[in-house]
Amino acid sequence: MKVSVIIPCHNVAGLLPQALRSVHAQTLPAAEVVVVDDGSTDGTWAVIEEAMADHPGLVRGIRQENRGACAARNAGLRACSGEWVQFLDADDELFPGKLEGQAPFTAEADIVVGDYEQVMPDGLLLTVEALYDRPWMA
């Protein structure tokens, strides 16, 4: 299973490294990580350049003028080549083993969703959303 991780970002130089670490720590490695800098002014592009240097051939950066998160996601979609796409906001992290855990469900699905937790920077857990318990119709 070839997974492209797309990370749209804007002014998240302090948060992006942790998001990237959560991708690189996956037990099922991503085939590519496409990071789209949506007109940042805070050093986000430098973080992306460092990630590209540390992971050549895996991390690709796209730089565009600020057009919003949807435009950044679409730019990432146009640039990626995976069979599956994992969107990851730059201020979020993937659960350990997330990609491997969802892989078995891809054989008979067009879309795969999973739970998420909303956690504050100090570690306080605010919410847990169990999306798999909801009936989804496509």
Give me the DSSP letters along 6-47. Answer: EEEESS-TTTHHHHHHHHHT-SS--SEEEEEEES--SSHHHH
Q: Domain spanning 3-106: which CATH class is it, in words?
A: alpha beta
Inter-CA distances, 32 with 1, 98, 129, Å: 12, 16, 27
More confident residue, 127 or 71: 71
- Note the pLDDT tens digit of each residue in 88-104: 999 999 999 999 999 98
pLDDT higher than 80, residue 128: no
Mean pLDDT of the chain: 91
For residue 136, the model assigns a pLDDT of: 47
Each domain of the chain, given as residue ranges in start order, spans 3-106
- Residue type (1 letter), 91: D
Band (pLDDT 50/70/90 cuts) for residue 132 is: low
Give per-residue pLDDT as tens, 60-97: 999 999 999 999 999 999 999 999 999 999 999 999 99
Residue 124 confidence (pLDDT): 79
pTM value surpassing 0.95: no
Residue 130 has pLDDT above 90, yes or no: no
- Residue 127 contacts by C-beta under 8 Å, 6 or more apart in sequence? 117, 118
Q: What is the pLDDT of residue 138?
A: 41
**Between 28 and 126, residue with greater pLDDT:** 28
